[in-house]
């Protein structure tokens, strides 16, 4: 079965798929020939939330071609559950988020995920469980476009430890929330985080 991709560009979504996904919003079809990611990014309006798609028989091959002109950055993060069944969220850059960060040299994704959670929230991860999903995010860096690939893992902690937000990473707040009380998060988070919450069975 072909692998299909969902790439986030701010609040816009770019699908690379062999079928049209079912969704309420209209999807604009793009042609891959002569497509330039940087030009496309510049044309997107601030605050727009639109969906675009490359319909292709071979999504993986199209994705590889798209990546060729980009800098690839790898990151990892966690959806952390306490022994009380609450989930860990952070508030950073005026948005609700989950702890995550870039890989260090020679570091494995799953190791980076645990390290970032522990550093950003001042806790000890008791158990790292299965990988939930991958998310892709595009942004400019200097003259290049970056595709940031983030692997997300489910994690557990003992009890419900006190959280210490890492201020130098721009984290204003770290909280434990019951999954029935995450509407503030849903109203003010990134589309990629919604994917992680769905993968984790919270939504």
SS3 53: strand
Mean of the per-residue pLDDT values for the chain?
Answer: 94
pLDDT at position 176, please?
A: 98
Token pair in block for residue 95: 């948005």
pLDDT in tens, 139-173: 999 999 999 999 999 999 999 999 999 999 999 99
- Residue-wise pLDDT for 93-144, tens only, equals 999 999 999 999 999 999 999 999 999 999 999 999 999 999 999 999 999 9
Buried residues in 106-126 as b, exposed as e (16+ CB within 10 A): eeebeebbbbbbbebbebebe
- Token pair for residue 166? 């890492």
E strand map for the chain: 5-9, 12-17, 27-29, 51-55, 70-81, 87-92, 95-97, 100-102, 127-141, 144-156, 171-177
Q: How far apart are CA 16 and CA 4, in angstroms?
A: 6
The CATH T-level fold of domain 71-199 is Nucleoside Triphosphate Pyrophosphohydrolase (3.90.79)
pTM over 0.85: yes
Q: How is the chain split into domains, by residue range?
A: 5-68, 71-199
Helices marked H in 30-168: 37-43, 59-68, 109-121
Tell me the two tokens of residue 105.
């040299």
Tokens 């309006």 sit on residue: 45
Q: How confident is the model at residue 2 (pLDDT cuts 50, 70, 90)?
A: low
**Overall residue count recorded for the chain in this entry:** 203
Question: In this structure, what are the phi and psi dihedrals at residue 87, rounded to the nearest 5 degrees?
Answer: -120, 150
Residue 1 has pLDDT above 60, yes or no: no
Q: Is the pLDDT of residue 45 over 70?
A: yes
Alpha-carbon gap, residue 120 to 89, rounded angstroms = 11
């Amino acid at each position: 079965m072909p692998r299909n991709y969902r790439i986030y560009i701010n609040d816009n979504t770019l699908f690379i798929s062999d079928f049209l996904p079912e969704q309420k919003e209209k999807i604009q079809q793009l042609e891959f020939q002569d497509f330039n990611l940087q030009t496309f990014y510049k044309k997107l309006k601030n605050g727009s939330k639109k969906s675009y798609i490359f319909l292709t028989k071979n999504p993986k091959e199209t994705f590889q071609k798209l990546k060729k002109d980009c800098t690839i950055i790898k990151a990892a993060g966690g959806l952390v559950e306490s022994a009380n069944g609450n989930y860990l969220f952070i508030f950073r850059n005026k948005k609700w988020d989950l702890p995550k960060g870039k890989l260090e040299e020679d570091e494995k994704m799953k190791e980076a995920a645990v390290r970032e959670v522990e550093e950003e929230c001042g806790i000890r991860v008791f158990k790292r469980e299965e990988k939930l999903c991958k998310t892709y995010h595009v942004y400019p860096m200097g003259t290049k476009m970056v595709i940031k690939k983030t692997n997300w893992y489910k994690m557990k902690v003992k009890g419900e430890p006190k959280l210490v937000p890492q201020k130098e990473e721009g984290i204003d707040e770290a909280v434990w929330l019951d999954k029935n009380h995450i509407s503030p998060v849903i109203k003010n988070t990134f589309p990629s985080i919604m994917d992680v919450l769905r993968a984790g069975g919270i939504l």
